[in-house]
Amino acid sequence: MLTLRWGSATDVGRVRTLNEDSLLAVPGLFVVADGMGGHAAGEVASQLAVAEFARLAEQAAVRAEDVAETVRRANEHILAAGAERGDRHGMGTTLTGISVVGAGQDAQGEQLAVFNVGDSRVYQVTEGQLRQLTVDHSAVQELVDAGRLTAQAARTHPRRNVVTRSLGTDPAPDADVWLVQPVAGDRFLVCSDGLTGELQDSDIAELLGQNPDPQAAADELVRQAVAVGGHDNVTVVVLDVVEVLPDQAAQAAQTAQAAQAETAALPSAESQLPPTVTLPSAELGLPPTAPMPSPVPREVNG
């Protein structure tokens, strides 16, 4: 069982007139969707994606497979909505987030499923160290992976806003899904590229470290991104893992397994008895036992 705290914030920025980002921050599910600039009705696409995940949040138990299936359904709904109205044809959105999922067969307790389609991101902070968990699906990331561009140069490259995967496409994009073991004290950041396009990772790490409260951290991240440029919509969710308790079912299974192993290791009662020695009656000081006479048959007259 996990105890989580979180905060969220979004801002239209200083350039755009419409906020095409959407977010969801409810117990067990944290999502950011960035309706892509230059696409028709990007805000509708991001809202449809988040709405599909809001339905997932109502499930009693969520598996990693459910997350991937929800991404597929969200893509279908965006395509269908685009086909209904000409002004929405071609709309799309990125999608990234974190879902609490049940323990797998080999896992102990609940886990975090990190998922991503596009160039919005999820970061993890462990013991003050920030690292990016997701991999951008973008033209510049492919150049970086191929060794043709540095990560720093990718920040100002002309094709930095070109994504290679998004919702609203046919065939449906493959979502990246990772399972992360939660650790008390860890902090996670879910954000649109309106944040990472304005602030360096070192700036993000510093702001996360300076604001222990997740809501204060979310507010400050958005405020700083808007202050230094605000060229795009900015949306963030900050999630803290406060406590990690063993899942009751998993704990019961562990206890039963340990008890079974302990029982198997104990010697049996019979193995603890001394060996049995049969002594002749003379050694016991007893008179020899005479053989019993055989019974004599007799005739019974009825």
**Which residues have a Cβ under 8 Å from the Cβ of 279 and sit 6 or more positions away?**
none
Secondary structure in 3-state letters for 84-135 = HCHHHCCCCECEEEEEEECCCCCCCCCEEEEEEECCCEEEEEECCEEEECCC
Domain membership of residue 109 (yes or no) is yes
How far apart are the C-alpha atoms of 104 and 89, rounded to whole Å?
Answer: 39
Q: How many angstroms from the chain centroid is the CA of residue 220? A: 25
Is beta strand 121-126 parallel, antiparallel or unpaired with respect to 2-11? unpaired
Question: Which residues, in sequence order, are bridge partners of residue 97?
Answer: 31, 115
- pLDDT score, position 290: 43
Domain membership of residue 211 (yes or no) is yes
- pLDDT score, position 248: 53
- pLDDT score, position 291: 45
Name the nearest CA neighbour of 30 among 187, 256, 210, 253: 187
- pLDDT score, position 254: 52
Domain membership of residue 141 as a residue range:
2-243
How far apart are the C-alpha atoms of 45 and 26, rounded to whole Å?
Answer: 20
Domain membership of residue 181 (yes or no) is yes
Over the stretch 41-92, which tens digit does the pLDDT of each residue have?
A: 899 999 999 999 999 999 989 999 999 999 999 999 999 999 998 888 889 9
**For the chain, what is the domain count?**
1
- pLDDT score, position 87: 85
Q: How many angstroms from the chain centroid is the CA of residue 97? A: 9
Label residues 172-203 b or e (16+ Cβ within 10 Å = b): bbebbbbebebeeebbbbbbbbbbbbbbeeee
Domain membership of residue 147 (yes or no) is yes
- pLDDT score, position 80: 95
Domain membership of residue 157 (yes or no) is yes
- pLDDT score, position 37: 56
Helices (H), the chain: 42-56, 64-84, 139-145, 151-154, 193-196, 201-210, 214-228, 248-265
Domain membership of residue 292 (yes or no) is no
Other C-beta atoms within 10 Å of 77: how many? Answer: 16
Find out whether 241 and 111 touch, Cβ atoms under 8 Å: no
| Rg of the chain on CA atoms, in Å | 33
* Ranges of the chain with pLDDT below 70: 37-40, 104-108, 247-302
- pLDDT score, position 267: 53
Domain membership of residue 261 (yes or no) is no
CATH number at 161 reads: 3.60.40.10
Domain membership of residue 256 (yes or no) is no
